[in-house]
Amino acid sequence: MNAWQNPLIEQRADPQITLVDGRYWFTASVPSYDAIEIRAADSIAGLSSATPKTIWHKHDSGPMSFHVWAPELHRIDGRWFVYFAASERGDIWKLRMYVLECLGDNPLTSEWIERGQITTPEEGFSLDATPFEHGGKRFLCWAQKSPPTESNLYIAEMANPWTLKTEPVVITRPELAWERIGFCVNEGPALLKRNGRVFIAYSAAATDANYCMGLLWADERADLLDPTSWHKSPTPVFTTDESVSQFGPGHNSFTTTPDGQTDLLVYHARNYRDIVGDPLNDPNRHTRVQAFGWRADGFPDFGTPVADGPCSL
């Protein structure tokens, strides 16, 4: 039986779990925001006790010296890459996107090198980069500030794993009331392809109990670089559930059971509502995993957050 305990890993926000060649790989923001660590296991449950390996540490000064945020580990054309954001000491919002590449086949033991910054035309902060392949092309989706205060989702085609090929286009802005609580935010994109559609789940609002997931979709045959190809759910698709003490679920990723038959939602949430001070300084956004299904119309049904405790399929 596939079973694990929620929360799966405590004090790990912005979690990403990916299944590659029968092995699960995990990375997330660490509470100190100063390093990137990864871990691996043969099962979801095994990730909770797997020994984390720090593969990169922040610089002492200048770019990449402060607030290392939301890493993602991806296998692209047989190579391992990590996408992450980092800022400079003294300016937490001087966030830019960066890429690391592993020079060997084992991310836990092989050397990692810096491939540099993913440059974008706009000057606002950029973060939460996630690459994906579709229709024989490689795309990047990410969150970026657009004046005066909004964080929007952008998409562009890639020339290589660390370089954009096309001009970025905006595919969603925080225009709905539930996306504008506390802050005007669309961030944390995560890709899901199924039933003739390309779905992008994303997170919205401030990082407290108002944090929630939204959903975009486009026809799989559409031009993904055309903003009109994308549609948005008018309501959030995964939200706080006070009845089970799960608050602010979001910044998700997707994986499956080893046999690929059951889809799994990976996300962070807190088990209490009230936060003292800046929510970003509260370390208790824990990693959680739960199964989800599909509606008759081909759209995902994420349900509601499950209570802490044993979780099985």
Active site residues: 14, 187
19, 253, 162, 194: CA torsion to nearest 10: 80
Q: Tokens for 235?
A: 């309501």
Q: What CA–CA distances, in Å, run from 43 to 14, 271, 311?
A: 20, 24, 13
Question: For residues 228 and 194, what is the distance between their CA atoms, to the nearest angstrom?
Answer: 20
User: Rounded to 5 degrees, what angle do the CA atoms 158, 163, 168 make?
Assistant: 60
If DSSP codes are grouped into helix, strand and coil, which group holds residue 235? coil
**Secondary structure of 41-87 in the HEC alphabet?**
ECCHHHHCCCCCEEEEECCCCCCCCEEEEEEEEEEECCEEEEEEEEE
Taking alpha carbons only, the member of 237, 251, 211, 250 closest to residue 299 is 237
- Identity of the residue numbered 128: D
Question: For residues 129 and 188, what is the distance between their CA atoms, to the nearest angstrom?
Answer: 8
If DSSP codes are grouped into helix, strand and coil, which group holds residue 122? coil
Question: For residues 193 and 282, what is the distance between their CA atoms, to the nearest angstrom?
Answer: 33
CB within 8 A of 150, min separation 6: which ones?
173, 174, 184, 185, 186
